[in-house]
């Protein structure tokens, strides 16, 4: 088999057949790139802060704020692509004990609940984000709406990914195959073989 036709090992099995798979893949890559940039900003500003403090004896006044703002955005952007990949921590007590139809229903319900909760929190928090926009941060003077807007953006992305996952489950008529589930099943097989 030549290298051009091999499947991408980073994608879950069967994702190519899912509706909107290319859209999801592009969004996840963009979110991962933004998260990587934010992580680089955090590391470089903290390194510059340490260097300035211990070498020049004059720390920057803005570096902690930049790192904190980047960390907040990193958290919510990362939560979005983790949602798209189905890697959030979950407790699977019911769906592992029911048939395919039950798994389908539970997965649809979970995506509806997650999307609904995210959208409700977003609607409720939008007024607050707008309200704090006039207040600036102490060192940079960045409006607080940019700080709290990270949560709103993250909630919007989480809801979007959850709705896409719901659409994919609904169209295919079966629960999505997730890499975490595949790894767990492989672990169970290894444990059973080791007995």
Summarize the confidence of residues 6-20 as an average pLDDT: 54
For residue 130, give its domain range: 17-88+97-178
- Asked if residue 37 is part of any domain, the answer here is yes
pTM: 0.77
Asked if the structure places residue 34 within a domain, the reply is yes
How many domains would you assign to the chain? 1
Neighbours of 80 (CB within 10 A): 25
The rounded distance, in Å, linking the Cα atoms of 49 and 54 is 9
**Is 9 inside a domain boundary?**
no
Residue 184 within a domain: no
Would 169 be classed as within a structural domain? Answer: yes
* Of 87 and 188, more confident: 87
- pLDDT, one tens digit per residue, over 77-102 is 999 999 988 888 877 788 778 888 88
Residue with tokens 């720390």: 59
Residue 76: the pLDDT is: 96
Q: For 101-129, how does the pLDDT look when each residue is reduced to its tens digit (9 = 90+)?
A: 888 999 999 999 999 999 999 998 898 88
């Amino acid at each position: 088999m030549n290298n051009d036709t091999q499947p991408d090992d980073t994608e879950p099995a069967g994702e190519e057949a899912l509706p909107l798979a290319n859209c999801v893949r592009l969004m996840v890559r963009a979110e991962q790139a933004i998260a990587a940039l934010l992580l680089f900003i955090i590391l470089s500003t903290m390194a510059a802060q340490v260097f300035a403090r211990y070498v020049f004896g004059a720390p920057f006044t803005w570096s902690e704020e930049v790192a904190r703002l980047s960390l907040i955005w990193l958290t919510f952007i990362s939560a979005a692509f983790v949602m798209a990949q189905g890697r959030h921590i979950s407790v699977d007590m019911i769906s592992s004990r029911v048939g395919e139809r039950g798994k389908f229903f539970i997965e649809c319900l979970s995506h509806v609940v997650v999307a609904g909760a995210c959208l409700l929190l977003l609607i409720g928090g939008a007024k607050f984000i707008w309200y704090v926009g006039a207040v600036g941060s102490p060192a940079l003077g960045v409006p607080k709406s940019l700080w709290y807007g990270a949560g709103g953006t993250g909630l919007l992305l989480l809801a979007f990914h959850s709705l896409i996952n719901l659409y994919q489950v609904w169209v295919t008529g079966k629960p999505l195959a997730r890499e975490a589930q595949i790894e767990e099943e492989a672990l169970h097989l290894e444990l059973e073989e080791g007995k």
